[in-house]
Amino acid sequence: MNPLITFKLIVLCLLAALRLQAQMPMIDRGEYIEGLWCFPLHTDSLTYVYLPNSARFAFNEEKGPRFSYLRYSILKPKEGNTTNSIPKPMGAGFCTCWSCTKPPRKPS
């Protein structure tokens, strides 16, 4: 890869990392409030995020669990024997399981 393109990609990634920040909860300061675990944010201790007590699989139209699979491959020709037209595949994939969470219902 061209060194100038590599440098530009690294600078772009660093600038994006400075701009994008994840919410970092303070796990050691959690409070259990009305059925929810609430955690203050590291950047703002007055803002809380919650984690539900349970989660379940999301379901598709056929009532099966919902998964997503993304496969990618790189076709690399075999070394040496150029008469073989079948390339050597390389690659991997990502499997994602969809889940649903919801807070508990308030008692009426």
**Structure token digits, residue 19:** 């701009």
Confidence of residue 59 (pLDDT cuts 50, 70, 90): confident
End-to-end CA distance of the chain: 63
Contacts 24+ apart (CB under 8 A), 57-66: 57/97, 57/98, 57/99, 57/100, 58/98, 58/99, 58/100, 65/97, 65/98, 66/97, 66/98
Q: What is the pTM of this model?
A: 0.41
- Average predicted confidence (pLDDT) for the chain: 77
Domain spans, the chain: 22-53, 54-77+87-103
Tell me if 40 sits within 8 A of 48, measured CB to CB: yes
